[in-house]
Amino acid sequence: MKILPLLTFLSASLCFGQDLIHHTTNYFGPNANPVPEFTDASIPAFTQVSFTGDYYFGHGDQTISNLTGIEVPLIAEKVSVKVWKTLVEHYSVTDEIVARRQMQKNEGFATGDFYVQTRIKLLSEGKFKPDLILNSSLKTASGSDFKNRRFFNTAGYYFDVEMGKSFRMKSFIDELRVVTDFGFYSWDIQTPNLNVQDDAIMYGLKLILKHKNISWENTFSGYNGWITRVKDYGDKPMILASKLNLKTTDGTLLFLQFQHGIRYFPYEQVRFGVQLPLKKLTPNFF
């Protein structure tokens, strides 16, 4: 039951007013506690390294950042370990945002948290069976510039299940793939006056259309936290993303994405990136 933590939270809200820090995407930078991404419900056969450049804009906050990650299959297409991090971001916000978030300055640099994820395929797709993958993820508290509301000073974790099923088409579209994601997300809220845990239900739906080496992904996703009685707290972000992928003959993936914040994620995002297969860095245990 959430009654006792909620009473604690509400008491802190009333007693400390301006000292209450909202640990949500509605009051922090876009990379602080974003809606977790999920894949097409597959694990690669080879090690993959990805590099992205992101531009977040709108609603008084402009952020330029990068995201670097690596996924290493311990058992090809069955088990993998994935690590990613925002190496650096540059932000510039308006005076209104500085006041709203209780920041100390309008502009600066920050570095993000490490995420470590273990992925296990529980079920392989068949005639009537979907692909089923279990993800277990940990977010560290290594991000910087908490005083300017760029990253949390607390850790978090989430568990989610991806389920995907493909349908072959006899038209311009070669394949239609539907992927769902459902899970549990938890992170700590720590201030001088408050120490509770926010728990959320994760959800997501992805539709992928494929034609030869081109694919188009459209994703609707979000999570719902339990803190409901604090006005505009914002622990229920919801986003919509559209991503275009181009796969080259050597397995390199080039992609371009636009993401819109529907609720409690006050950013629009433009992302471009590359994903490189590294066969020589793939473990060969079996």
pLDDT digits (tens, 9 = 90+) for 211-269: 999 999 999 999 999 887 777 889 999 999 999 999 999 999 999 999 999 999 999 99
pLDDT value for 16: 38
Structure tokens at 195: 């120490």
Cα distances from 7 to residues 13, 192, 196, 228, in angstroms, run: 10, 17, 11, 12
pLDDT band of 192, cuts 50, 70, 90? low
278 three-state secondary structure: strand
pLDDT value for 27: 95
The pTM of the whole model exceeds 0.85: yes
281 three-state secondary structure: helix
Tens digit of pLDDT for each residue in 121-175? Answer: 999 999 899 999 999 999 999 999 999 999 999 999 999 999 999 999 988 999 9
pLDDT value for 8: 47
